[in-house]
Amino acid sequence: MEITLEYLRKAFDREGYICGDDILIPVYLALRLGKPLLVTGAPGVGKTEIAKVLSRVLDTQLIRLQCYEGLDENKALYEWNYQRQLLKIQMVKDKVAETEMEKSLFSEEYLLERPLLKAILAEKQVVLLIDEIDKTDEEFEAFLFEVLSDFQVSIPEMGTIVARHIPVVVLTSNGERELSDGLKRRCIFLYIDYPSIEKEIKIIKTKVEGIGDKLAQQIARAVNYIRKELELKKKPAISETLDWARALIALEADRLNPETIEYTLSVLFKDQHDLNLFRKVLGPHGLMEKLQVQEA
């Protein structure tokens, strides 16, 4: 089935991913043009969720490569199962010729598929999420964009393996380092900013069961104010907003008040410096005053 922009819009809405055309159109173009989607933005704004939603919309498997410092080709692509190979050698030694044994040992039977190879060998098109690519080094990034160009890999003992189906690729970056022009050139670029108050209200009401209009509005306005007015090390992202809303619901709050704000600050702030700064500059009473919320 051909994916249209309108179909994608309805599907994302059905999956509870609240967004506008600023996000939908780059996603749509990546699908139509068959290019990887590079999603950047602060942690927690919904970058990874796009890949998860796409896997559900396309009704296909999500394969995730979680990047980290020191990730190399073997851990991303494949490794040989040396333990099984050793057992095989011990079982058949002196029974078969050395060349025949070597050929047998380097076959698919002893291959441990890592995320990139799994995506290439998959029987149907998958969504390949390469999460936090900015945590890898430039050498791995160069290897990666070669794979993403040709969708084929070379295993010395087995030859070249070409993808059975070109995967839908989503890369995410938190901007910890500048990515290469080579990688960017191969991708459709999408930057996700923190949501507007109106958009965040919709997200809260979609994701948090049982929340009322008043509390959703107060939470969205409070988080928006904190993001804009405080020089925080780690600004609250959408995930913190949702956790805060759920925490307030768990405390049976139907509106903000200084006590519930104080009790739930640890859900909203993830850094002691930020927590101290909030208490010093605003505090729960100060936040209520800035939002012009009457204390109950």
Query: Does an H or E element contain 162, and which?
Result: strand 159-162
Q: And the tokens for 14?
A: 């059905």
Query: Taking Cα atoms as reference points, which of 32, 128, 123, 42 lies closest to residue 77?
Result: 128
Please identify which residue in the block is written with the tokens 């749509």: 28
Q: And the tokens for 233?
A: 């090390």
pTM equals 0.86
Residues 67, 71, 77, 82, Cα dihedral to 10°:
-130
Query: Taking Cα atoms as reference points, which of 78, 70, 154, 85 lies closest to residue 111?
Result: 78
Structural contact between residues 36 and 30, judged by C-beta atoms closer than 8 angstroms: yes
Domain boundaries, the chain: 5-73+114-192, 197-294
Structural contact between residues 231 and 277, judged by C-beta atoms closer than 8 angstroms: yes
Structural contact between residues 203 and 195, judged by C-beta atoms closer than 8 angstroms: yes
Query: Taking Cα atoms as reference points, which of 271, 198, 281 lies closest to residue 235?
Result: 271
> What CATH architecture applies to the domain 5-73+114-192?
3-Layer(aba) Sandwich (3.40)
> Count of CB atoms within 10 A of residue 291's CB?
15
Q: And the tokens for 124?
A: 């149907």
At 107 the three-state DSSP class reads: coil
Give residue 134's identity as a one-letter amino acid code.
Answer: D
Structural contact between residues 129 and 66, judged by C-beta atoms closer than 8 angstroms: no
Residue burial 159-171, b: 16+ Cβ < 10 Å; e: rest: eebebeeebbbbb
β-pair partners for 170? 37, 129
Per-residue pLDDT tens, the chain, 296 aa: give them: 678 999 999 999 999 999 999 999 999 999 999 999 999 999 989 999 999 999 999 999 999 999 999 998 888 998 888 888 788 777 766 666 666 666 667 777 888 889 999 999 999 999 999 999 999 998 898 888 778 888 888 888 888 889 989 999 999 999 888 998 888 888 999 999 999 999 999 999 999 999 999 999 999 999 999 999 999 999 999 999 999 999 999 999 999 999 999 999 999 999 999 999 999 999 999 999 998 876 65
